[in-house]
Structure 1
Amino acid sequence: MKPKITPIDHEVSLEDDEFIVSKTDTRGLITYVNRTFMRISGFSEPELLGIQHNIIRHPDMPRGAFKLLWDTLKEGDEFFAYVKNLCKDGSYYWVFANITPDYDSRGNLRGYYSVRRKPSREAVDTIIPVYEEMLRIEKNSTTKEAMTHSIAYLTEQVSHAGVTYQDWMLQLNSSEVER
């Protein structure tokens, strides 16, 4: 069961050379976390293993972003995103996430592998208003339409950049995107 955590306005940051690594099974249950993940999130290994990865989902993250993530992974493609995560104590941390399908030696999907690093401040400042608008759209839409409308807004923002979603994410991280 996901613990009830009350978010607080306190940001925790990764160091420039740190990486958060985790693995999940095909259902999103955590099968591996590195020490950096545990230190930043405040959760111990026993509190994380076998638990849904969304244990660290911050309420400021739009559901549409996660639908896009899962739709992309189900196609067998890797996914990049800026994600605001929740710590055990209610603090938060931003990451630039790369999630890839993890296959066994026979080519069967066995889960997902994620490496997260510190994002540029410019990228976070660019994505925050996009996520805020996605959340507003989700709140003002019916449950059935919320994620579709939210993703449509995100797609519109990406189209203004003239690139694919993945390329936009990568450009934001390198601060090459026009603002």
Structure 2
Amino acid sequence: MDRPIPTDVEREVTPVDLIVSKADAEGNITYTNPIFMKISGYTQGELLGKPHSILRHPDMPKVIFKYLWDNIKEGRDVVAYVKNLCKDGSYYWVLATVKMAKNPDGSFRNYMSTRRQITPHAKEVISDLYAKLLEAEKEGGIEASEKLLAQFMEDNGIHDSESFNTFMLNLNK
């Protein structure tokens, strides 16, 4: 499937929209709810079995997904802002909560992500941060953006995944 060419058209995620998806251990989509398909513009058939990265907008720094995967693979939930690319090239911003679901015996079941609307304030702060991280990646690779993200976290009193999630949730108020 060809990647869409990004446009400057933003799709609205309303306060009642809750986007839900599930993925296997490799990040391939195994479930999508109807609102996910409505906002992204993809059909369920186009999404199932595909990696979540099918929706990755080029404005998203790789370091955010590295942080996310490093944590959820260890069983720690992650709350992060994501700018997704729709099938028609438009985009939408969401606050994503990603967690690992386990079977009763403790074994891996799937990854589950719920996404919801973000506030204008959160979008402004995160857009600025992500632009800086992306620029650092272009100039010095993911290592440079990791250093910049670590500095942002230190500057904001974020010392672990729990305080990261709390910061992200509070930013959306």
TM-score range, shorter chain: over 0.9
The alpha-carbon deviation at position 121 of structure 1 amounts to 1.0
User: What is the Cα-based RMSD across aligned positions, in Å?
Assistant: 1.0
Relative to the length of structure 2, the TM-score reads 0.94
The alpha-carbon deviation at position 3 of structure 1 amounts to 2.4
Aligned residues: 169
The alpha-carbon deviation at position 105 of structure 1 amounts to 1.8
1:152 counterpart (137, 147, 163): 147
Stretch deviating more after TM superposition (104-113 or 7-16): 104-113
Do residues 57 (structure 1) and 56 (structure 2) align?
Answer: yes
Tell me how far apart the structure 2 counterparts of residues 100 and 3 of structure 1 sit (CA, whole Å).
29
Tell me how far apart the structure 2 counterparts of residues 71 and 21 of structure 1 sit (CA, whole Å).
21
Alignment of 1:1-179 (within 5 A): 2-141=1-140, 146-163=141-158, 164-174=163-173
Segments of 5+ residues of structure 1 without an aligned counterpart are 175-179
Contact 1:16/1:118 (CA < 8 Å) preserved in 2? yes
* Structure 1 residues 113-169: Cα deviation after superposition (integer angstroms, max 9, x where no partner): 00000011100100111100111110011xxxx222212211211222223322221
The alpha-carbon deviation at position 15 of structure 1 amounts to 1.1
Contact 2:3/2:54 (CA < 8 Å) preserved in 1? no
Tell me how far apart the structure 1 counterparts of residues 147 and 117 of structure 2 sit (CA, whole Å).
27
Relative to the length of structure 1, the TM-score reads 0.91
SS of residue paired to 2:26: coil
Tell me how far apart the structure 1 counterparts of residues 129 and 80 of structure 2 sit (CA, whole Å).
12
SS of residue paired to 2:98: strand
Segments of 5+ residues of structure 2 without an aligned counterpart are none
The amino acid of 1:95's aligned partner reads V
Tell me how far apart the structure 2 counterparts of residues 15 and 136 of structure 1 sit (CA, whole Å).
30
